[in-house]
Amino acid sequence: MIPTPLLPASLTNDTAHMDGALTRARDLYLAGTSATQRWKGRESFVVLDTGFGAGANFLSTWKAWQDDAAAPRLLHYLAVEPHPFSLSDLARVHAGWPELAVLSAQLRAAWPPPMPGFHRLLLADGRVMLTLILSDDASWMAKVEARADAFYLHPAPADTDRSGQASSLSRLGRLAATDAVLAGTDDLPDPARAALAQAGFRCAPFPLPDGQRGLVAQFAPRWQVSPAGLPAPQRKAIVIGAGLAGSAACERLAARGWQVTLIERHDRPGQEASGNLAGIVKPLLARDDNPAARLARAAYLFALRYWRHLGGIGTAFDGEACGVLQVAAGDEDAQDQCRTAMSHQYPANYVRWLDGTAVSALLAGEPSHGGWLFPEGGWVRPSSFCDAMLAAGGERIQRRFASSATMLIHADQHWRVTDAGGTTIAEAPVVILANGTYATSFPQTDKLPLTAIRGQVTHLPARSLPELPVVVSGEGYLTRAVDGICSVGASYDFDDDHHLRLDSHAQNLARLSQLLPNAGRAVADAALAGRVGFRCASPDRLPLVGPLPDQQAGIGGSRLRDVPRLPGLYGLLGYGSRGLVWAPFCAELLAAQLNGEPLPAERDLVQALDPARFALKAHRRGG
């Protein structure tokens, strides 16, 4: 299904509403849910807001959290918004809230493009996590995985289907933490109140300072609600593999206060597939906006925000946000690219379609059929990115380099990782395999459907090529210069040869000639160098993120939750050639799962990454 572009909010229609927004945020939502009293002494606190608007409730909650010395380490704030404000309109509204000027400026700096989906923003050095759900689909609540401590319930628009609203509210109990409190206006119709009661909430009036009444509902279900996440004493993990996947996992867990032991067989991080000079960062587009495209979009946008969180590309780690141009392979491909861009009406800072003339002008006169320009994409040196992520994790990450994990032993709810001689390297309740196809070397995981795909990159002296302003991609890619070297790649071979080969160089130069015919002819006789790495890929080319299946146990049903899992064993695997895009997002997803936090993506997308999906498919086929 092709999503319709989100329509922006109308500032003129909302001006009167905005005037009392901060008062309502403090007197109704913060006071009604007793948030500032209830979050004291907690590790984290979760708010779910059914209407973001210009962010009055969010900014007021953030300010209260910031001013409270006893506030939790993490504040999670989820909010849905069908009609997000433009940045300029947002700035005009925020100008009327001078007491929140510092916070509102940070919000605008992180404001996402108006594209459907979940957008996780890292604010206050990552301690405030705002998940904006940009959706005009009434079923958004069914896509959320969270346990909210406080609900901010907004009045439904006048044209809202009342039966649909009641149906949504009846499912609110699935998203409620054990002591959740809901606050809203007192104009809730009787069917909606009955739906709240069905969801386990007890409603009561709430007097406001201006003499009006609000509504407060305490979650008091007849059923037992299980706690989310691991208890604090068990928040220790072992990560095996110090490439992009493992380094990101370490940083995202350390940011949540976890103690992490990193095991790596090399003497420093980023030495396998992450050892290339440069990798490119761009999303994936599809006419039907399929799950792979939606996931790639979410991961790409999170990666751009994560760069800023670490300190900035080109500052905290090597790279350039110079833009990536994906050139069309021919007239038919160009027409398809153009139709895709037109049908989705993507924001210009996400992707722009350029015709052949515009592309040729960008590429120093190279002939072209056209292409997609991703203006905020670019290239990154993966090993420096690994270094930056591990540095951000600080002392919470204990490094065990030049150590080879050969055995996983589970006993007494703990995993023990040993080397070939049986010596224990580390012990913890949680182990995360982030070591590519080496994950299948353990008996517990030797049936994971992972394939090693050989990728040879060709290195060319930058002086032998035109200096282009962007990374160029298509069937292959050409990076900008890194230490005087441009990378051309990469081969896609199903063998285990670690040596450079002339046939792979020839394939790369042929791809370069397709991308840039003039440049390809200029380097036809160049001296060739390069590097060989091995990508880890899954059958559907999507990563494996989450708890790993128990290969020895039978599956008792037809859903993912029916697949038995190995206790405390997780995977971050199968990133293929898109590790720079996948690593931050997948690490954030797994860290949220382990910590019992709201997930940064829709339920169906999380399920599309579940490592048990292949075992379940085989079970359904009778295999």
**Quick check: 512 and 526 in contact, CB under 8 A?**
no
Amino acid at 497: D
- Radius of gyration in angstroms for the set of CA atoms belonging to the chain, rounded to a whole number: 25
Give the integer Cα–Cα distance in Å for 352 and 161: 37
Give the integer Cα–Cα distance in Å for 338 and 358: 13
Taking the CA atoms of 114, 120, 122 and 123 in sequence, report the sign of the dihedral they define: positive
Phi, psi of 386 (to 5 degrees): -60, -45
Q: Is the pLDDT of residue 9 over 90?
A: no
Give the integer Cα–Cα distance in Å for 419 and 549: 23
Q: Which residues contact 396 (CB under 8 A, 6 or more apart)?
A: 253, 254, 257, 258, 259, 260
Per the listing, tokens 């068990």 go with 234
Average pLDDT of the segment spanning 580-588: 98
Give the integer Cα–Cα distance in Å for 129 and 120: 7
CB atoms within 10 A of CB 221: 14
Predicted pLDDT at 170: 86
Q: Which residues contact 246 (CB under 8 A, 6 or more apart)?
A: 239, 240, 262, 264, 269, 432, 434, 435, 572
Query: In terms of residues, how long is the chain?
Result: 623
Predicted pLDDT at 233: 66
Q: Which residues contact 130 (CB under 8 A, 6 or more apart)?
A: 58, 77, 79, 107, 110, 120, 121, 123
Q: Is the pLDDT of residue 80 over 70?
A: yes
3-class SS at 404?
Answer: coil
Torsion of CA 291, 292, 293, 295, to 10 degrees: 80
Phi, psi of 419 (to 5 degrees): -90, -175
Predicted pLDDT at 168: 82
Please provide the DSSP assignment of 27-46 as one string: IIIIHHHTHHHHTTT-SEEE
Task: Name the residue with higher pLDDT: 230 or 179.
Answer: 179
Per the listing, tokens 């110079």 go with 322
Is residue 20 very low, low, confident or very high in pLDDT (cuts 50, 70, 90)? confident
Taking the CA atoms of 498, 503, 507 and 513 in sequence, report the sign of the dihedral they define: positive
Q: Is the pLDDT of residue 3 over 60?
A: no
Predicted pLDDT at 232: 61
Q: Is the pLDDT of residue 19 over 90?
A: no
Give the integer Cα–Cα distance in Å for 280 and 292: 18
Give the integer Cα–Cα distance in Å for 292 and 271: 28
3-class SS at 609?
Answer: coil
Phi, psi of 480 (to 5 degrees): -70, 170
Q: Is the pLDDT of residue 204 over 50?
A: yes
Q: Is the pLDDT of residue 231 over 80?
A: no
Cis peptide leading into residue 35 (ω within 30°): no
Give the integer Cα–Cα distance in Å for 389 and 543: 20
CB atoms within 10 A of CB 283: 26
**Quick check: 214 and 28 in contact, CB under 8 A?**
yes
Predicted pLDDT at 593: 96
**Quick check: 167 and 195 in contact, CB under 8 A?**
yes
CB atoms within 10 A of CB 399: 17
List the 259-263 sheet strands across, edge first.
Answer: 397-400, 259-263, 236-240, 430-433, 565-573, 544-549
User: Mind listing the pLDDT tens digit for each residue in 116-162?
Assistant: 999 999 999 999 999 999 998 878 889 999 999 999 998 876 555 55
Report which of 277, 249, 281, 254 is spatially closest to residue 264, judged by C-alpha positions.
249
- For residue 139, give both structure tokens: 């079923």
Secondary structure in 3-state letters for 214-232: EEEEEECCCCCCCCCCCCH
Report which of 422, 439, 401, 399 is spatially closest to residue 544, judged by C-alpha positions.
439
- For residue 130, give both structure tokens: 């705002």
Burial of 363 (0-12, 13-18, 19+ CB in 10 A): buried
User: Mind listing the pLDDT tens digit for each residue in 450-507?
Assistant: 999 999 999 999 999 999 999 999 999 999 999 999 999 899 999 999 999 999 999 9
List the 324-327 sheet strands across, edge first.
Answer: 352-355, 370-374, 324-327, 471-473, 477-478, 485-489, 451-461, 529-537
Q: Is the pLDDT of residue 31 over 70?
A: yes
Mean pLDDT of the chain: 93
pTM beyond cutoff 0.85: yes
Give the integer Cα–Cα distance in Å for 249 and 513: 38
User: Mind listing the pLDDT tens digit for each residue in 526-582?
Assistant: 778 999 999 999 999 999 999 999 999 999 899 999 999 999 999 999 999 999 999
Give the integer Cα–Cα distance in Å for 5 and 536: 35
Report which of 597, 588, 585 is spatially closest to residue 77, judged by C-alpha positions.
597
**Quick check: 203 and 216 in contact, CB under 8 A?**
yes
- For residue 585, give both structure tokens: 């997002």
Range in 100-109, 184-193, 361-370, 468-477 the model is least confident about: 184-193
Report which of 149, 30, 154, 190 is spatially closest to residue 81, judged by C-alpha positions.
154
